[in-house]
A and B are shown apart, each in its own frame.
Chain A
Amino acid sequence: MTILLMGHPNVGKSAVFNRLTGANITESNYPGTTVDFTEGHTFIAGKEYRIIDVPGTFSTEPKDEAERVALDILEEHEDAVVIVVIDSTKVERGLYLAFEVLERGYPAVIALNMWDDAERQNINIDVSRLEEILEVPVVPTVAISGKGIYRLVEKIPSATQVDIKDLKEKISEL
């Protein structure tokens, strides 16, 4: 099983990655490009998972080489679970990428990272409502201190695909 960590640059994606993996991580060059990516392994509920820290990207419509590699990695792992790491102070932007991932039929978990920053800036996010609307697990995290990472791991096995058509109708009725 493979877990892909996706998110914008500077959302603390590699901090999440470091929390999830053990010491045995490798950085390698994506063939034919100048882009490097990191991967490691972890055990969740007795099952071994391969975790890939996908290069930071703003959308799945690639604009440069790093974003192209991000898309290639995503498309290569059709049966992967995707953890979309979002900066909690920039939820809208992050959801854009999360939607794109869901639209491609990947089961996903959303990590609302940098939750402490959002609290400090008086940003209130109704996590359970968000979970209810999107029908994917949403977990507030502070990767730097490790807060929420355990819950994030717990939710990974329960990630399922989302029917976009239903989602669209549901949101339109809000």
Chain B
Amino acid sequence: MKTKSTMKLSEMEYGERGVIREIKQDLKDQILGRGIRVGKKIRMDTKQPINGPVVITIGKSTTSLGYNLARKITVEVEEDDDTSDGTS
């Protein structure tokens, strides 16, 4: 069973996966060269406490983005009902 919901990248939890749906224009130009773009599959690796940066993986590349940058990215998250340890 999979349900889908849309949220900001900064709101994703550890190990969650999703697809990038929207990136605010001012950030879009900044991260295009890094391969972070609409339609790409994304995984949240870690999130630092007290609104610190997030670490995400797209394909084989892992990138860290500051909290306020992560807020500019909208992700459609697959909520997997099966328990998974997030390492698969």
Contacts and interface: CB of A to CB of B under 8 A. Distances in A.
Direct contact of A and B (CB under 8 A): yes
Contact of B59 (A61, A63, A92, A96): A92
Interface of B: 29-30, 32-35, 59-61
Interface residues of A, number: 13
A63 B69 CA distance: 14
A57 B34 CA distance: 10
Interface of A: 57-59, 61, 63, 89-90, 92-93, 96-97, 121, 123
Contacts of B60: 89-90, 121, 123
Contacts of B59: 90, 92-93
A108 to B, nearest CB: 17
Contact of A93 (B29, B30, B35): B35
A63 B31 CA distance: 9
A59 B35 contact: no
A61 B30 CA distance: 8
A59 B35 CA distance: 10
16 contacts: A57-B33, A59-B33, A61-B33, A89-B61, A90-B59, A90-B60, A90-B61, A92-B35, A92-B59, A93-B35, A93-B61, A96-B32, A96-B33, A96-B35, A97-B33, A121-B60
- Interface of B, secondary structure class, is helix
Nearest to A10: B61
A57 B33 CA distance: 9
Nearest to B61: A90
Nearest to A121: B60
Nearest to B36: A93
Contacts of B32: 59, 61, 96
Nearest to A92: B35
A74 B74 CA distance: 35
A161 B80 CA distance: 49
Contacts of A57: 33
Contacts of A59: 32-33
Nearest to A60: B33
A132 B50 CA distance: 50
B61 A58 contact: no
Contacts of A96: 32-33, 35
B1 to A, nearest CB: 30
B69 to A, nearest CB: 12
A96 B32 CA distance: 9
